[in-house]
Structure 1
Amino acid sequence: MADSKRNSVAGKIAVPKAAGTPTPSSAPPMMDQLEALGKSIGARIKITTAAPHSQTYEGTLFTACPTLNIVAIDTRSNSAQGSTAQPGDYHMFTLSKIQSFQVLSTADTGNAGNSIVTAPIAPVDTKRLQQKAQARIDKLKEAERDQGKGVSKEAQAIFDSLKRINMPVRWHMDQMIVHDAIIITPPYRVEDCKAPKEKQEVLIRVKRVLEGERKKLKEKEDRERKAATPVGPRKGG
């Protein structure tokens, strides 16, 4: 009985097709499959997402909503299934992103006359969420600080190239501050680098790096300009 129930909800969800492409008559409508999946809430389920970034997830089915066209599972281990002691690790998928699904084991409903159950809600790991949120905020703040205010495109490209090679650099108005000691003023050439007397060794290294990065940027611009230049028709045979 359990095997026939499991087979009835395990299946493949078709990715939406382009207009004019017929859908095989043997494939159930996606909404019907989602409604069937909704009767397995609390079961262990395996979901494979669609290409190009196909991945497989296994966990406890938390919800399958035909209104929002989403499926949510808790990917904690089998030992945590049905337990609210361990924080849940929830993943949400839109129907169009699901390539296939398979019900691995049905939920123990405790009521043979009712196949629709409610998955236990595990506590959310708020500490982890706060850490992820703070990491995202810090990343956005850093990206904002790395954008020069009122500087040219070339200046920003120079700054980004220094940042890319892990050179400790930051903006101070329209000046670049490197190693918290070297000041590079517009137009950001080697001769525009200044430093205190006790930082002359650092100044020499920064000048060398700046010269190399400016050379790379110039070569890149020349390649892009050459590639964008239309080539005239070839003369002769």
Structure 2
Amino acid sequence: MADASKRNSAAGKIATPRTGSAPPAPPMLDTLEALSKAIGARIKLTTTAPHLQTLEGSLFTACTITNLVAVNTRTGSVNAANQPGDYHIVPVSRIQSFQITSLAGDGAQSITTAQPSIGPVDTKRLREREETRIRKLKEEDDNRGKGVSKEAQEIYDSLRRVNVPIRWHNAEMIVHDSVIITPPYRPEDCRSSKDKATTLTRVKQILEGERRKLKERESATAPRKGG
């Protein structure tokens, strides 16, 4: 009975997010302290923007030295220690909110002494996911125009969506490595060498069509005047 009282008391000290509107990010030290008492528990954790995501799984660790937490989102038996986990490393400073959905253990241990089942880490999968994420971030950065207008980026993105090989060179768009589109990115702003006349004509047609689609979407979403 005494053990149950201690467990309930400890569980009551764990911070949980408020319902309703998006809660403010909890102080980092308070978050880390609360999570360090919940090792092994099932938690639901939401990170901050711009890479907003929600992770749900068992809390593997909360390190007070590196200010990092590890969440194992791999489903299955908590006692299957011989199965690899799917671990996500999250800086405490990026935690927007978290909620403990269930305590660790089988009821015979308190939340402050609970230990997670430790299984082998699938390092190959972690490396692949890291490499994929790095490639995606690099691709996003390469395809984001530097110092260009919102309209210019929309035109660029629309051409990419129809599988037109395109890249930025300062404020110019390079298509098929042979056609240059200069601001303000109209069909008449396209140029190429004489031997690429066929490609130039095709790019102009595609550009004209995509600009027309953008204007149609813009007109459809614009608020109507009057009643």
Give the equivalent residue in structure 1 for 2:101: 101
- Residues 18-53 of structure 1: CA distance to partner in whole angstroms, max 9, x if unpaired? 8xxxxxxxxxxxxxxx79x95x865xx655679xxx
Within the candidate set 205, 212, 217, 2:214 is matched to 217
Separation in structure 1 between the aligned mates of residue 159 and residue 122 of structure 2, nearest angstrom: 38
Give the equivalent residue in structure 1 for 2:87: 89
C-alpha deviation, 1:179, in angstroms = 1.8
Separation in structure 1 between the aligned mates of residue 88 and residue 186 of structure 2, nearest angstrom: 51
- Residues 192-233 of structure 1: CA distance to partner in whole angstroms, max 9, x if unpaired? 323345544433332211111122233445556x6386x4xx
Question: Is 1:142 matched up with 2:139?
Answer: yes
Separation in structure 1 between the aligned mates of residue 218 and residue 96 of structure 2, nearest angstrom: 41
CA contact (8 A) 2:71 2:89 kept: yes
One-letter amino acid matched to 1:139: K
Within the candidate set 213, 217, 223, 1:227 is matched to 223
Separation in structure 2 between the aligned mates of residue 201 and residue 62 of structure 1, nearest angstrom: 59
Q: How many residues align?
A: 203
TM-score, normalised with respect to structure 1: 0.54
How many percent identity over aligned positions? Answer: 42
SS of residue paired to 1:227: coil
SS of residue paired to 1:81: coil
The 5-angstrom pairing of residues 26-65 of structure 1 reads 57=56, 59=58, 62=60
Change (3 A) 1:87 1:107: farther
Change (3 A) 1:182 1:152: same
C-alpha deviation, 1:170, in angstroms = 0.8
Change (3 A) 1:10 1:57: farther
CA contact (8 A) 1:84 1:120 kept: no
Separation in structure 1 between the aligned mates of residue 44 and residue 208 of structure 2, nearest angstrom: 50
Give the equivalent residue in structure 2 for 1:29: none
Larger radius of gyration: 1
Give the equivalent residue in structure 2 for 1:157: 154
Separation in structure 1 between the aligned mates of residue 85 and residue 163 of structure 2, nearest angstrom: 37
C-alpha deviation, 1:162, in angstroms = 1.3
CA contact (8 A) 1:82 1:119 kept: no
Within the candidate set 177, 182, 187, 1:180 is matched to 177
CA contact (8 A) 1:146 1:170 kept: yes
RMSD of aligned C-alpha atoms?
5.2
Separation in structure 2 between the aligned mates of residue 166 and residue 209 of structure 1, nearest angstrom: 11
C-alpha deviation, 1:128, in angstroms = 3.2
One-letter amino acid matched to 2:189: D
Separation in structure 2 between the aligned mates of residue 90 and residue 132 of structure 1, nearest angstrom: 10
